[in-house]
Amino acid sequence: MNNDVRDESPSAAADGPLRHFRVGRRDVLRSLATGVGAGVGAVVFASQAAAAEHVHQSPAGNPAQPAPNTAESTLVFCDRHAFDTLALLSEQIVPGSRTAQVAEFLDRLLAVESLDTQKRFTQTLGAFERVAREAHGKPWKSLTAGQASTLLTKISGQPESDGMRQCFDDLKAAIAETYYSSEAGMKELGWNGSVAFAPPMPSCA
């Protein structure tokens, strides 16, 4: 990503936007297992988790290298369907994410994350897929703008204890943090290339 201020090194992932998907922050895995991420949606994205597990294992005990995939040469972790879903959700949740290449950045970051984090992220995408298929009989990326907006509004309005709301909050946090650490996002917050200006204080008059 040109002129990007983000650090894409594995060490940066330790406290990066995907920390929201690490086991221990909230017990989302338990809620996913009881139905939110189960079914068709989770199955659709199972290939990423399976592939990740294969990469993490080798007969010699060393990390195995992923086999090159010319059809998905620009992607590091996600397959095309998962990436398209992530890219669309990113733009719908934080407008401007597509131009800032948020999905591309998260795809690269996922490649250096732990297997547990990769699985949890995959399950979260699967939860959105399941909601779309249950509501409209088609994958999330095939929803109309109105259908997606209605579902996101409904999901974000659920109690914080709701499993699908937790999936939304975690994904939104990862997307927003990635976007607002990009050049475009920082400029939106007032960064001019050298100095970031605080928003104006409210008038006391």
pLDDT in tens, 29-84: 444 434 444 444 444 454 444 444 444 443 444 433 443 443 456 899 999 999 99
Burial of 149-167, coded b for 16+ CB within 10 Å and e otherwise, reads eebbeebeeeeeeebbbbb
Q: Is the pLDDT of residue 148 over 50?
A: yes
Give the count of beta carbons closer than 10 Å to the beta carbon of residue 87.
20
Q: Which of 197, 173, 176, 16 is nearest to 100 (CA)?
A: 176
Q: What is this structure's pTM?
A: 0.67
Q: Is 26 helix (H, G, I), strand (E, B) or coil?
A: coil
Going from the C-alpha of 143 to that of each of 59, 78, 125, 138, the distances in angstroms are: 43, 20, 15, 7
φ, ψ dihedrals at 31, nearest 5°: -70, -35
Structure-block tokens of residue 96? 């401007």
Residue 21 belongs to what H/E stretch? none
121 Cβ contact partners less than 8 Å away, ≥ 6 residues apart: 18, 21, 110, 113
Q: Is the pLDDT of residue 104 over 90?
A: yes
